[in-house]
Amino acid sequence: MNTIRLYLHSMRMLIRSQLQYPASFVMQTLAQLVMQGGEMMAVILLVNRFERLNQWSAGDLYFFFGLMSVTFYLTEIFGRGITGNFPFLIRTGQLDTFLVRPRGVLTQVLCSAADPRRITCVAVGIAALVLGCRMSAVQWSAAKVLLMAEAILCGCFLILGLFIIEGIFCIYSVKSVELVNALTYGGRSACEYPVDTFPGPLRILFTAVAPFALVLHQPGSVILGKPLFHWPEWTAFVSPLSGFAVFGITWLCFRRAMRFYRSSGS
């Protein structure tokens, strides 16, 4: 309980400190809007040209795009410490200051940064979700709302887990390893589209290794009424939990890796 309070307290403070530079904040927020708007344009162009992709209609594609955007950028707003700052903390030795406090290292890393500028990216995602739901005429029910919330929450943990992998490499190599970006940012860009549009190897990658398909696409497809892989609907409530599993595994690896932390400078 105390950890959650600490986290909320930190977030309040971090967001307040971002707002210390209002002009910069507004500019950067707008820049994010342009960036994510551009990504959305790509989907719009695709939909204009092809109308559908396999079994997915234009509305479905907007829906998947929105689902990924909301999940990914929520993670970046609230998990910035892991998604962005961790290599910096290692390289500068700033992590030392976390190690001398009686709290978990990851907890403190999460509490150390927030990125409220991404709020416009989330807004674009919500717009895409709303648009997608209307175009595909989604019939909402309590179960579907719950499923959506679960997918987004588990998706956040999945993305955090993938970024932790980068952190683990960072502990060993001090400098960040761009290779892992293939899973994180690559995963984001690819999995804005449902997984069955990809060839076999990528499908396996995004189902078994970085399970965006299980966490986002499976529940998403059930909400749209077109279950992916033709699995029964109830599995959509179970499969997102793989996001927690990824987070749990990488979290354990991270704890082990911290023993090799070498610090830096004086």
Is the Cβ of residue 114 or residue 210 nearer to other proteins in the bound state? Answer: 114
Q: In whole angstroms, how far apart are CA 248 and each of 10, 112, 189, 259?
A: 23, 20, 24, 18
User: Is 236 in contact with 147 (CB distance < 8 Å)?
Assistant: yes
User: Is 45 in contact with 53 (CB distance < 8 Å)?
Assistant: no
User: Is 227 in contact with 140 (CB distance < 8 Å)?
Assistant: no
Using CB under 8 A, pick the residue from 24, 55, 97, 189 that binds other proteins.
97
Is the Cβ of residue 6 or residue 33 nearer to other proteins in the bound state? Answer: 6
Which range in 36-44, 98-106, 180-188, 199-207 contacts other proteins by CB under 8 A?
A: 98-106
- Show the site string, 7-46: x = touches other proteins by CB under 8 A, - = not: --xx--xx-xxx-x--------------------------
Does residue 252 interact with other proteins by CB under 8 A? no
Residue 56: helix, strand or coil by DSSP? strand
Q: In whole angstroms, how far apart are CA 124 and each of 29, 161, 173?
A: 12, 24, 36
Q: What is the closest distance, in whole angstroms, from the C-beta atom of residue 69 to other proteins in the complex? A: 28
Give the C-alpha separation, 230 to 207, whole Å. Answer: 15
DSSP 55: T
Is the Cβ of residue 231 or residue 261 nearer to other proteins in the bound state? Answer: 261
Using CB under 8 A, pick the residue from 27, 101, 214, 248 that binds other proteins.
101
- Show the site string, 65-94: x = touches other proteins by CB under 8 A, - = not: ----------------------------xx
Using CB under 8 A, pick the residue from 52, 103, 175, 256 that binds other proteins.
103
Using CB under 8 A, pick the residue from 1, 5, 199, 230 that binds other proteins.
5
Helix axes 22-50, 58-78, angle to 10 degrees: 160
CA nearest 266: which of 97, 89, 85, 93?
Answer: 93
**Site residues for other proteins per CB under 8 A:** 2, 5-6, 9-10, 13-14, 16-18, 20, 93-94, 96-97, 99-103, 108, 259, 261-263, 265-266
